Amino acid sequence: MPREPKGRGVAWTEERSDEGRRRSEGGRGGGWGAGSRRRAGKARPRVVVLDYGSGNLRSAQRALARVGADVEVTADVGAALECDGLAVPGVGAFAACMAGLRAVGGDKLIAQRIERSRPVLGICVGMQVLFAAGVELAGGSAGVVPPGQHGVRTEGCGAWPGTVERLEAGVLPHMGWNTVSAAPGSALFKGIAPGTRFYFVHSYALRAAAAGELVAAGALISWTEHGERFAAAAEGGAGEVGGVLAATQFHPEKSGDAGAALLANWLETL
């Protein structure tokens, strides 16, 4: 298992990840001093964290506000369409997150924003639901998989091609700190040192073997390995102008200074 940037172990539950985020601040991860970087000479960008019942909305709100955004958590259609950036966090099961999104029209909101070249950021299962589909077993994103059980396919938002599947790894969920091999030219990882660690909690992802269509679509994919290579982040490739669609499989809002640096980079694209 990877180790947290200050040398502490990672046998933590997701409920303790806020503690892990606090402990990681000031450690390795892009040289971010808490609250020290500001968007000099620029107005605070308006960001909506889409409220569709996901469990980590307030963590995302706090993290984005910390790096200079004016953040609102809401399911209001007008606010979600007109804001500078839309953040779509997600935890738990793919199917449950898609049901929550559809209940508030989130799938249509995402499609409309992409058509209008307005930035969208997916986080964890919020990344997964951007793909065409997910095949998931009982227990959800971090659940235990019964041997031999067949997966249930759920249609995603379809902004990106590809199917999210269970990782082939000896230990699941993949929980703790891991490095990311950033794509050349990535806006999200600009200025973040190689070897920087981010916080992951998941069992499912876009596996490298299933990423061919996304690569062909021109997306920039950043990779992590846990048992096998999978997409830790993706940018562009949805037919949009200027690469307005971006997402991370890890939790930037729980990744201390490294996550703050990445979120600040996203704000710079708005």
Domains defined for the chain, CATH in brackets: 15-139+165-268 (3.40.50.880)
pLDDT class of 30 with cuts at 50, 70, 90: very low
Question: Which of 69 and 18 is assigned the larger pLDDT?
Answer: 69
- Whether the predicted pLDDT of 142 surpasses 90: no
CA 25, CA 37: separation in Å to the nearest integer? 14
pLDDT class of 61 with cuts at 50, 70, 90: very high
Which one from 4, 136, 235, 253 is the annotated catalytic residue? 253
Sequence length of the chain is: 270
Which one from 124, 136, 235, 240 is the annotated catalytic residue? 124
Q: What is the mean pLDDT of residues 81-103?
A: 97
142-174: b (≥16 Cβ within 10 Å) or e: bbeeeeeeeeeebebbbbbbbbbbbbeeeebbb
19 counts as catalytic:
no
Structure tokens of 174?
A: 């993949």
Structure tokens of 84?
A: 């500078």
- Enumerate residues 6+ apart whose C-beta is below 8 A from 40: none
226 counts as catalytic:
no
- Whether the predicted pLDDT of 197 surpasses 60: yes
CA 128, CA 143: separation in Å to the nearest integer? 16
Question: Which of 28 and 53 is assigned the larger pLDDT?
Answer: 53
251 counts as catalytic:
yes
- Enumerate residues 6+ apart whose C-beta is below 8 A from 42: none
Question: Which of 137 and 144 is assigned the larger pLDDT?
Answer: 137
Instruction: Identify the pLDDT of residue 229.
Output: 98
| First-to-last C-alpha distance (Å) of the chain | 35
pLDDT class of 138 with cuts at 50, 70, 90: low
| pTM for the full predicted model | 0.85
Contact 57, 126 (CB under 8 A): no
pLDDT class of 10 with cuts at 50, 70, 90: very low
Instruction: Identify the pLDDT of residue 17.
Output: 38
